[in-house]
Amino acid sequence: MTPMLSMRMIGQYDYSVREDGQRIGRIRYARERTPGIWLWHVQVHIPGPPFGSASSLDDAKQSFKAAWLAFKEKHGPTR
């Protein structure tokens, strides 16, 4: 089954791309380029919050590693 994608305007010639209400990317017209071109990108979301805080560098490294490993487990190391 083909996923249902939708676009939401976030600015003139600038769109958020969504699937089932979740932002998955962006399409925008880059008029600063000569000639102007449409640019697009896909965003990757990791499970849980993709950010955090810690009281020490070691705690921050451990939390970062746990989030990264959870992402790889869900999506596979090659994806």
pLDDT in tens, 22-69: 888 999 999 999 999 999 999 876 656 667 888 889 899 998 888 888
Structure tokens at 58: 């070691």
pTM of the model: 0.58
| Cα 23 from Cα 20, distance rounded (Å) | 8
Residue with tokens 């955090």: 52
- Whether the ω angle into residue 35 lies within 30 degrees of 0, i.e. cis, is yes
pLDDT in tens, 3-16: 789 999 999 999 99
Structure tokens at 4: 């249902």
Let me know how long the chain is: 79
**Angle at the Cα of 1 from the Cα atoms of 19 and 49, rounded to 5 degrees:** 30
| Residue boundaries of the structural domains of the chain | 1-43, 48-79
